[in-house]
A and B are shown apart, each in its own frame.
Chain A
Amino acid sequence: MLDATNAGTLMVRVTWSDPVTGQAMERTAPLPITIGRTAENTVVLNSDRVSRLHTTIESKGFDVVIRDHNSRNGTYVEERRITEEVLRGGETIQIGPFRLAAEITLSAQPSASGSMPAAPLSSSKLTPRLVAVRWTHLKTGESRALSVATPAIIGRQPGCTIVLLSTQVSREHAMIEIEGDQVIVSDKDSGNGTYVNGQRIERVVIKPGDVMQIDQFQLTLALTAPDTPRPSSANAVPPGSRPAIGAVLPPSQPVVVRPSLPTPAYTPPPAPLAPPPNDPTLVFSDQTGVLLPFVPEKPKLDPFPPPIFQQPVVPVWQLYRGTVTVLETTYLAIGGGIGSFTWVDHMLSAGVAPEQIVVLGLEPKPHSRYERLCRNSQIPGHERLRSNSDACPDNIWGWPSYGLREMWGSLKKGQLGNLFSVAWHIFGEPVLADTYTPRSVDVFAAMDKEAIRIGWGRIWRYGQAKAIRKTDDGRYAVAVTTVNERREPVNLVMLARFIHLAIGYPGVQFLADLQEYRDRTKDFKRVVNAYEQHDHIYDHLARQGGIVMVRGRGIVASRVLQRLYEMRRYNRNIFILHVMRSPLLTGHHYGHARRKVINHMDLQPFNWPKACGGGTLRAKLEKANDHERDRLLNDWGGTTTAKRADWLRIVSDGLREGWYQIRFGTAKRVEPNPYGQVFTLMKAINPGEPENWVASDFIIDCTGLEAALDTSDLLRDMVQHHRLGRSPKGRLRVRNNFEVEGMENGPGRMYAAGAMTLGGPLAMADSFLGLQFAALRSVEALAAIQAPGVKHIGPWRSFIQWTRWVRGVKP
């Protein structure tokens, strides 16, 4: 029997994901907890659609109840608006744009008053004694020492007390604590284990002389006397009685009790998934830029970048005295994709000579990676992109727009039908007709033409930036791996006064259960990501038919559904199971407006409301502070697809004829079955329903691209080394002119564009329009500080440059 007064404290663990970035959030606290928009709540949800105090979860007799506090937009449990409701654990709770899950657990000891942070590391108020930690890399011999307060976390993730950079180290790998006079080390369910004196351990007391090992790092620990013994603060918790859920505790002292067979008021919370051995991401190859089906083993601590890069600021004279080749340029664009391309296009139009710019990239065509991702995610050349008519990476004015150019092309070819169709879409969008979007093949051809006009081939160089540092003479040093004339890899350092960073998405996101399945079975054929090459699935289906499970409901899911629909012309025995976490009946709303939802999918022409690109919403976001930006992005964002008559018809036909079904619930695990298929263990949304195995021939993950800053080695290293802040969405922190905050270095400036600037001044950061906007802003900023060769693009210069574009002569 659960008794909240004697046996312990009821704890609730609330999990949710950021509606824009999809980042998983978690908070554990003793009951009662409050959920609302303002900072004093236990769970803070930043959105205008969340009231200041929105909901509470509290215990009432033997029950745990969730109560709505007369919130404006309501609290929904399993899609029903509630005022007060008993929680059994595992339900889906909807508050504004946030979808939360609450899990109820019991801690055996009474907790300290107040709420407990989910990550107890930084704010823990234990008696401050320090542990001296020294670690050495066994291969490189590199060694460091640090005295740390406990509890200290060792891991790969930047927030850890001791960061060990290796893919073999888990995000949070091990924990160091002090109990009495003893140093205790415990493994945090790491993938590759923590070893003490050669033995894999879970939790041990460290004795003098013990040697600990994690991956290739050898660590020694010793308790030090605190320099100045500070009295513990009034509300400090005595050591040993910290009941935070998720913290590692001695096995003999089972503090966290999951009510597995308690009163019928509770159902067992779902067993946590085993942590995937790798990040749930696919990454692009360092050498070729091609998407790899697995995370490659990285060579441990590459001797390049040179050791001089470990200094806070690189002294240039020392760099020149070293052995590594040094090249200089005024402007360096890192990335080499569409973001770099539009920036260079703007720079040249502003008067900069091409000799002053170097672009580093892996593929000579700026649209190579984008085009590959488009093709894989079922946008062949004749299909249309989800992009505005006047978002033209090949033309800084956005005019003539792709729509006009397509009309002109149709007129020349005598295709009057298409001419009128495009004209009607442009005139009637989005009221009378679907929104016009350009054909991908036309966009790429236009970029190729522009690349020739601006001499891209002479500006672009094959190379991958490995690390960026400020120098002592107001420039930046960039460690670059490139190739020489004999195509052998060589390392060099490039010095530049101004840098533009546009590296795009560092990888492709993979759902954790699917990544786990692939790591375990090495089956890259049946379970795929929509951004991978997966034509074998369509070939197989056309010949033999089968069941395809589609996961995710964004634009990529729509493309995949369209392709599957097309395959049904060849084979009627193709069936689609579309898995969605829960039904979606109403869309986000903002102000007086509400986003449309059809067939449980959010619909809008582009990734963000149109006015985010150049209207009222863009202006509003630019003026907002961090907190407001976070809230606005949550309200405007989320996974959406475009409203296209053909896509709507496919789904409604499929639902009516039965070959397309929507299945609500959460996938927990994927297993191969003896018939050459895959089984997915599905947890239904209703707590009473049993879990069941669902068979399919293929699973296509359509959830999207991975945009976490830390997935990029380059950015993670730069942010750590120069102690840069992050945007409210965890990306690079940029000013309104897209200058990277904290990277200014005397006259040197660094600018960024693209997905890595989300949370900054522009919501549509990763769109063609967003890249053009960011480019214009940074070039205007360079003109304002009179950077070499950069002139203000005033009306006259703009018009003259436009006539040059029309004539096809260089800027």
Chain B
Amino acid sequence: MTPTLLGRWETRLLLFATAGSLVTAIFGLIFHDFKTPFLVLAYVLLFGFGWDAVYQLLITYRWDQDWPTFFQVLAAIWEAAFLWLLLRTVGLPGLKPGPTGGQFIWHYTFVWLSVFVISQGPLRTFFVGWRYRGGEWL
């Protein structure tokens, strides 16, 4: 992947609004609580916008200015750990009891897997210029 900052943001927004929301809604149905998983999703998205800027800075240290698949996995683990740490230490508005560890891990993993798989290919079947524009689709 060779993303641009705008491309990262646009793709993140699109995939969280579609695949991410769908997976989250399924979780809401299972646990009869829509507020918690959707708030978690919103926080992942919000912090993600910040992380994206950091990743774009790191990219300039790479000659190819690319973002290998392996790094995407590392970034996903890091983002989850960071959010969980915040939830458990200072807490986040609206998530005072928050999800349990098991709920958080399963929810996060499924959201991330759906987003990852779709961004690896199927997204391109709708947006033929997506890959040239570093992930920008708007």
**Real complex partners, A and B?**
yes
With contacts A616-B65, A799-B126 taken as known, whether A404 is within 8 angstroms of B121 at the C-beta atoms is yes
Distance, CA A615 to CA B71, complexed state (A): 16
Min CB distance B2 to A, Å, is 3
Chain A residues in 8 Å Cβ range of B4: 615-616, 619
Question: Which of the residues A390, A605, A798 comes within 8 Å of B127, measured between beta carbons?
Answer: A798
Of the listed stretches B15-23, B35-43, B56-64, B87-95, chain A binds B56-64
In contact, B132 and A390 (Cβ under 8 angstroms): no
B128 at the interface (CB under 8 A from A): yes
The reply to whether B129 and A615 contact each other, CB–CB distance below 8 Å, is no
Asked whether, in the complex, the Cβ of B125 is within 8 Å of the Cβ of A397, the reply is yes
- A593-607 contacts to B, CB under 8 A, are 593-596, 604-605
Which residue of chain A is the closest to B125 with respect to CB atoms? A802
Chain B interface category by residue count: 20 to 34
Q: Would you call A613 an interface residue if the criterion is a C-beta within 8 Å of the partner chain's C-beta atoms?
A: yes
Whether the Cβ atoms of A590 and B126 lie closer than 8 Å is no
| Across-interface contacts of B109 in A (CB, < 8 A) | none
User: Would you call B66 and A610 a contact (CB within 8 A)?
Assistant: yes
With a cutoff of 8 Å between Cβ atoms, the chain A residues found around residue B125 in the complex are 397, 399, 798-799, 802
Measured CA separation A431–B1 after assembly (Å): 13
Smallest CB separation, B119 vs chain A (Å): 11
* Contacting pair B131 A390 (CB below 8 A): yes
- Give chain A's interface residue range (CB within 8 Å of chain B): 35 or more
Contact B132 A427 (CB under 8 A): no
A349 smallest CB distance to B (angstroms): 8
Within the complex, the shortest CB–CB distance from A356 to chain B, in Å, comes to 21
Q: How far is the CB of A348 from chain B (nearest CB, A)?
A: 13
Which listed residue (A398, A611, A776, A799) contacts B65, Cβ 8 A? A611
Chain A positions 543-560 with a Cβ under 8 Å from a chain B Cβ: none
A426–B72 Cα distance when bound, in Å, is: 13
List B residues 92-138 near A (Cβ within 8 Å). 121-122, 124-129, 131-134
Given A432-B70, A594-B63: A613 in contact with B2 (beta carbons within 8 A) = yes
A795 within 8 A of B: yes
Does A99 belong to the interface (CB within 8 Å)? no
Is A618 on the interface with B (CB-CB < 8 A)? yes
> Is A592's CB within 8 Å of the partner chain B?
yes
Q: Does A793 contact B (CB under 8 A)?
A: yes
Task: Tell whether, in the assembled complex, residue A399 and residue B64 are in contact, meaning their CB atoms are under 8 Å apart.
Answer: no
Is there an interface contact between B133 and A614, defined as CB atoms closer than 8 Å?
yes
B122 to chain A: which residues have CB within 8 Å?
399
Write the nearest CB–CB distance from B30 to chain A, whole angstroms.
Answer: 30
Chain B minimum-CB-distance residue to A591? B60
Considering only CB atoms, which chain A residue lies closest to B137 in the complex? A795
For residue A288, give the distance in angstroms from its CB to the closest CB of chain B.
Answer: 35
**A614 x B132 contact (CB < 8 A):** yes
**Residue pair A604, B65 in contact (C-beta under 8 Å):** no
Cβ of A428 within 8 Å of any chain B Cβ, yes or no, is: yes
Q: Is A617 an interface residue (CB 8 A)?
A: yes
Q: How far is the CA of A390 from the CA of B127 in the complex (A)?
A: 15
Residue-wise, chain B 50-93 has the 8 Å CB interface mask toward A (1 for contact) of 00000010011111111011110000000000000000000000
Who on chain B is nearest to A800 by CB?
Answer: B125
**Contact at B2–A616, with CB atoms within 8 Å?**
yes
- CB nearest to A396 among chain B residues: B128
**Residue interface mask A416-435, B partner, CB < 8 A = 1:** 00000000001111111000
A424 smallest CB distance to B (angstroms): 11
B64–A798 CB distance below 8 A: no
Q: Which residue of A lies closest to B63 (CB)?
A: A593
Contacts of B129 in A (CB 8 A): 776, 780
A490 vs B130: C-alpha distance when bound (angstroms)? 45
The answer to whether B127 touches A610 (Cβ under 8 A) is no
Tell me whether B121 and A798 are in contact (CB under 8 A).
Answer: no
Check if B132 sits within 8 Å of A773, measured CB to CB: yes
Q: Given A429-B68, A430-B68, A618-B132, does the pair A592, B60 have CB atoms closer than 8 Å? A: yes
**Is A239 close to B, CB under 8 A?**
no
CB neighbours of A799 from chain B (8 A): 125-126
Contact A428 B128 (CB under 8 A): no
Interface pair B59/A798, CB less than 8 Å apart:
no
Q: Which of A397, A404, A596, A615 has the most chain B CB atoms closer than 10 A to its own CB?
A: A615
Nearest chain A CB to B113 CB, angstrom units: 14
- On chain B, the residues within 8 Å of A427 by CB distance are 69-70
The answer for the CA separation of A99 and B93 in the assembled complex, in Å, is 60
The contact string, 1 if C-beta is below 8 Å from chain B, for chain A 178-203, is: 00000000000000000000000000
Bits for A676-718, please: 1 = Cβ < 8 Å to B, else 0: 0000000000000000000000000000000000000000000
Contact A429 B69 (CB under 8 A): yes
Given A610-B2, A614-B133, are A428 and B126 neighbors across the interface (CB < 8 Å)? no
The residues of A with any CB-CB pair to B shorter than 8 Å are 390, 396-401, 404, 426-432, 587, 590-596, 604-605, 609-611, 613-619, 773, 776, 780, 793, 795-796, 798-799, 802
User: Which 9 pairs between the two chains have the least Cβ-Cβ distance?
Assistant: A615-B2, A611-B65, A610-B64, A399-B121, A795-B126, A802-B125, A593-B63, A614-B132, A611-B2
Q: Which residues of B contact A (CB under 8 A)?
A: 2-4, 7, 56, 59-66, 68-71, 121-122, 124-129, 131-134
Return 26 A-B CB contacts under 8 Å, by A number. A390-B131, A398-B124, A404-B121, A428-B68, A429-B69, A430-B68, A431-B71, A587-B63, A593-B60, A593-B62, A609-B63, A610-B64, A610-B65, A610-B66, A611-B59, A613-B132, A614-B2, A614-B131, A614-B133, A614-B134, A615-B66, A616-B134, A618-B132, A618-B134, A619-B134, A776-B128
Beyond A432-B70, A590-B63, 13 additional pairs, beta carbon < 8 A: A399-B125, A428-B69, A429-B69, A592-B61, A609-B64, A615-B7, A615-B65, A618-B2, A776-B129, A798-B125, A798-B126, A798-B127, A798-B128
